[in-house]
Structure 1
């Protein structure tokens, strides 16, 4: 069951303390486009099926990074794509969006997604894994 567009954005607005939906949408598009490049196979398509359609399309047509993105590089890349962003604001953007993504994904899919990602991404999703 995919999350509704409004519900997804409203949660990002709330967690990121954005003044409006367009700002939350801009952050969501960048973060999901970068995330899509890190995920492959069934996990990526299953996650897409749980997101609002517009964001599912973004996830499935990712921005390809030149190098594997560690959590730090992921935040830096997000800052580079969002006009006027700093690494600090990008960290906030990433956490706001990815925590909503984690809720949409659910525990089982989230566990499989984290297995595909470099160490440290669990913290960006707000789902610290026992080491």
Structure 2
């Protein structure tokens, strides 16, 4: 997908990093990046984490919608393009969700979880 999602990447990770409960839950493998550009829940979490994840996802949705209008794409297409880039940043121990809807945790020595549809 060449929607130009890279333009958003400066904003998307910053939104997640500014939420302390999100940072801790991500490191613990409770939440992680989803293939569609949003954060998701790999396991049940508490209300503080849910609130912050929801806030991050609301900001991401606004960014995806804005870029979709500018690029003549759908917000879903933009989200998937951003998701491809964000999955490339998953580190060892973090959870992630691919389009098959199976949550995984990246382990040491495992290659980056980049789906085939993300490759040019």
Query: Do the structures match in fold with TM over 0.5?
Result: no
**TM-score tier after normalising by the smaller chain length:** 0.3 to 0.5
Q: Which has the higher helix share?
A: 1
TM-score (norm. length: structure 1): 0.36
| Structure whose residues are more often strand by fraction | 2
